[in-house]
Structure 1
Amino acid sequence: MQLVGILQIKSYQKVKDFLNEEHVGRICSIDENGYPQIIPMNFVFLNDAVYMHSHVRGEKLDNIKRNNKVGFESDRELEFLPSYFEDPKNASLADTLYISIVIKGKASLVVDREEKTLALNGLMKKYQPEGMYDPIQSNMRVLDGVAVIKVIPETLHGKYKIGQHLNLPDRVDLAQKILKRNSPTAKETLRIMGFEITDDGLKMVEDPIW
């Protein structure tokens, strides 16, 4: 199997889970001069669409009204793999473990108050899961002071690289090197790779999350 195929996220549920965990996405629209404009945004993935809130005026809104074809992506760098993991003399062997989702789709400004309310409450639930707020109601004036962008995907591609392309001994060896390097993200990376840190070292879990 080609490496590209091995790196593809085939589970749509995994895609949704990842998008629901990530806090920053980037929407790319085309400006009046034909250049791409990329903006980092808070977002929520609901009912198979991406929703973002925005000020009621701005370049990205003008871009979308003029050309509703957009790109959207969200990614997470898990771990930088220094070149000396493979060869101390060959810098080209440096690599990165990551997860990423890339969408091409059509964007629109939500005008239906019920859908707008759904999106804004979805954003609050995602970013403030502890609650302690009154849910937004569709008759509130606050809806008039915020724009909600909706992106319906036409294509959605997910990729991840967590060592799944390696045979088991090489994957264990990589995990041990990550553990020894002990970067700030090492423990989370090892968890995603399917390893548990024990008193005796590393142990592969029976039901990894990826």
Structure 2
Amino acid sequence: MQLVKKFEIKSKQKMIDFLNGQPVGRVASIDKNGYPQVIPMNFVWENGAVYMHSHPFGEKLENMARNQKVGFEVDQHVCFLPSYYFHPTDASQADTLYISVVIKGRAIIVQDNEEKARALNALMEKYQKEGRYEQLNAQMPAVHEVTVIKVVPEDMRGKYKVGQHWSAPYRLKMAQNIIDREGLQNALPVLAIMGVQVRDGKCEIASEPDM
């Protein structure tokens, strides 16, 4: 995966924080005919690996049994930037703000019930933050019955384009364009990622986007 340096996420911790802040990842395995099969999955990053839970049977598990090499990808679409932000008529100028992390690694079906319980508890903690469930343990039948997939990264890269490559005045100009197109309430989450805040109806630089 070739990355333009100015768009590369340099901090592994920030990649991990991004992963655990996103609801869906996509795992790609190779089917019996050599084609990639891409499946959206709930997931959690825990203790140096990606964990997912699965029904005990299915094509992705058959694929992983034949070939442990998989890809895993998570992305966040931040904002579409229409072409007229940049040029009055040239459609090729349209762009997108986004964040993504791509992993290449090995898929392992977890056999140890203690590890399975830890992974399942981490998934619950991520997705059901309000609690109101019983912690899972290795003795529970539910832990024995479910399949847990572990993806151990061999290569992990992140990429982001959220306006960090723009000068401060240009970033403020783009922020105002986004407000004009999307409306203030819809634009605020995008502006926060861009490091822009709105005070007294005016856009101001709040921070530098840095990953």
Percent identity between the two aligned chains = 54
Question: Number of paired residues?
Answer: 208
Deviation track 1:121-140 (CA, whole Å, cap 9, x = no partner) reads 00000000111111111100
Matched, 1:90 2:71: no
Code of the residue aligned with 2:59 in structure 1: it is: E
Q: Partner residue of 1:196?
A: 197
> Could you tell me whether the CA contact under 8 Å between 2:196 and 2:207 is conserved in 1?
no
SS for the counterpart of 2:80 is strand
2:150 aligned with 1:150: yes
- After TM superposition, give the deviation of residue 206 of structure 1 in Å: 4.5
- Are 1:78 and 1:185, in contact at CA under 8 Å, matched by a contact in 2? no
Amino acid at match of 2:30: I
After TM superposition, the structure 1 = structure 2 runs for residues 100-119 of structure 1, keeping only pairs within 5 Å, are 100-119=100-119
Distance 1:169 1:196 in 2: 13
CA contact (8 A) 2:164 2:210 kept: no
**C-alpha separation between the residues in 2 aligned to 1:25 and 1:208?**
23
Structure-2 separation of matches of 1:9 and 1:39: 25
Q: How does 1:4-83 map to 2 (within 5 A)?
A: 4-83=4-83
Amino acid at match of 2:171: R
- Bigger drift between 129-138 and 175-184 goes to 175-184
- Are positions 1:162 and 2:180 aligned together? no
CA distance in 2 between partners of 1:208 and 1:91 (Å): 27
Distance 1:54 1:209 in 2: 35
Q: For residues 18 and 57 of structure 1, what CA distance do their matches in structure 2 show?
A: 30
Aligned-residue Cα RMSD (Å) equals 1.5
CA distance in 2, matches of 1:207, 1:171: 10
Change (3 A) 1:122 1:105: same
The aligned residue for residue 141 of structure 1 is 141
Contact 1:37 1:60 in 2 (8 A): yes
Distance across 2 between alignment mates of 1:163 and 1:70: 31
Q: Where has structure 1 moved over 4 Å in runs of 4 or more? A: 206-210
Structure 1-normalised TM-score?
0.95
Please state how far the C-alpha of 1:208 moved relative to its aligned partner.
Answer: 5.8
Code of the aligned partner of 2:90: N
| Residue 200 of structure 1: how far off its partner (Å) | 3.0
Structure 1 residue 120, shift from structure 2 partner: 0.3
SS in 2 for 1:192: helix
